[in-house]
Amino acid sequence: MKLREIYELVVKLGIEHDPRGQATVQKQLERERKKYEELKEDEKKEFDADRLFNPYTDTRVLFGDPDHEVKRILTGVDMEVGEVLLADRLGDQGKQIDLIMAHHPEGKATAGLYDVMHLQEDMLAQIGVPINVAEGIMAGRIGEVRRGLMPLNHNRAVDAAKLLGIPMMCCHTPADNMVTEFVQKYIDEKNCDTLGDIVKALKEIPEYAEAVKIGAGPTIVVGSKDRRAGKVFVDMTGGTSGSEDAYAKLATAGIGTLIVMHISEKHRKEAEKNHVNVIIAGHMASDSLGMNLVLDNLAKQGVEILTCSGLIRVQR
């Protein structure tokens, strides 16, 4: 596959599995086109043209010729300078790496991470939180994340890849969309009664089963195994953790249990205060599941996949 084709496929998969629905995503893209058309010529030079077809600012080709032929990729959850050097060493050993694919954003995709958090507003609205309330509670958190990203030296790994001549891209929200949909459907079909039932069901998924072996499997952090689950909401996409003010709204909307990749202590306490059960499925395992669902599509096209950096490869 050409690098361009891989990028287009990743974006296509993200849109197809977006929890907001494709119609909402298309409206977002239409708004971006309108913004672009209204810009002055000098302003258009600064516009990120990828936004016209890719709604995920945390997913980008970071370096490489779009027509570069990709036969083998090295992929992992965090692909930083060490992993870039690993790709180069593998080449020295006869395993040429044609593309480095990170899950977590690097380079300009890191700088754009905050923008995909608007996805969470629509997810909150879908479960019964008024959209004006959802946008209100997310606004402060999105600004906080944006300011927090500003001091980062986010182009280090990309610079290393450029010096070594290895194309690099990242696939964040599309993979997160796919794991969110997968786990939500899976748990809904299992019709779990208690939190213990949910944990047991999650451990039947290969990625989470492997994570258990290294002490990073599904864990109840609010509630207990005998607590009834109620309505279960899988919250694994939208850039990064949302607003701590959301838990009161989730409880009011009838959510009994959240299944998340990870949760900060501040957020955990807010969930506990509002009697919302929380199960941490596991960060690396959840990221692995989402990436695997993407990577399977590349494997079907004959691309060889090597994994590192915490990615538990399971082919379906």
- Flag whether 34 is in a domain: yes
Pair 152, 196 in one domain: no
Pair 230, 298 in one domain: no
Pair 142, 240 in one domain: no
Indicate the pLDDT class of residue 215, thresholds 50, 70 and 90. Answer: very high
Whole-number average pLDDT of the chain: 97
Pair 58, 119 in one domain: yes
Nearest to residue 81, comparing CAs of 175, 162, 150?
A: 162
Pair 204, 89 in one domain: no
| Virtual torsion, Cα 61, 27, 178, 130, nearest 10 deg | 130
Q: What is the pLDDT of residue 87?
A: 98
Tens digits of residue pLDDT in 52-74: 999 999 999 999 999 999 999 99
Pair 34, 76 in one domain: yes
Indicate the pLDDT class of residue 290, thresholds 50, 70 and 90. Answer: very high
- Flag whether 64 is in a domain: yes
Indicate the pLDDT class of residue 189, thresholds 50, 70 and 90. Answer: very high
Indicate the pLDDT class of residue 315, thresholds 50, 70 and 90. Answer: very high
Tens digits of residue pLDDT in 241-272: 999 999 999 999 999 999 999 999 999 999 99
Pair 247, 294 in one domain: no
Q: What is the pLDDT of residue 217?
A: 96
Pair 146, 77 in one domain: yes
Tens digits of residue pLDDT in 132-175: 999 999 999 999 999 999 999 999 999 999 999 999 999 999 99
- Flag whether 314 is in a domain: no
- Flag whether 140 is in a domain: yes
Q: What tokens appear for 129 in the block?
A: 């939180």
* CATH code of 228's domain: 3.40.1390.30
Q: What is the pLDDT of residue 158?
A: 98
Strand order in the sheet with 219-222: 219-222, 277-280, 255-260, 231-235
Pair 239, 302 in one domain: no
Structurally, the chain folds into a number of domains equal to 2
CB contact burial 55-91 (16+ within 10 A = b; e otherwise): bbbbbbbbbbeeeeebebbbbbbbbbeebbebbbebb
- Flag whether 315 is in a domain: no
Q: What is the pLDDT of residue 229?
A: 98
- Flag whether 14 is in a domain: yes
Nearest to residue 60, comparing CAs of 3, 16, 114, 22?
A: 3
- Flag whether 275 is in a domain: yes
Q: What is the pLDDT of residue 117?
A: 96
- Flag whether 316 is in a domain: no
Pair 200, 69 in one domain: no
Pair 267, 190 in one domain: yes
Q: What is the pLDDT of residue 255?
A: 97
Is-contact 307 187, C-beta < 8 A?
no
Domain membership of residue 278 as a residue range: 178-283
| Virtual torsion, Cα 15, 17, 22, 24, nearest 10 deg | -90
Pair 113, 204 in one domain: no
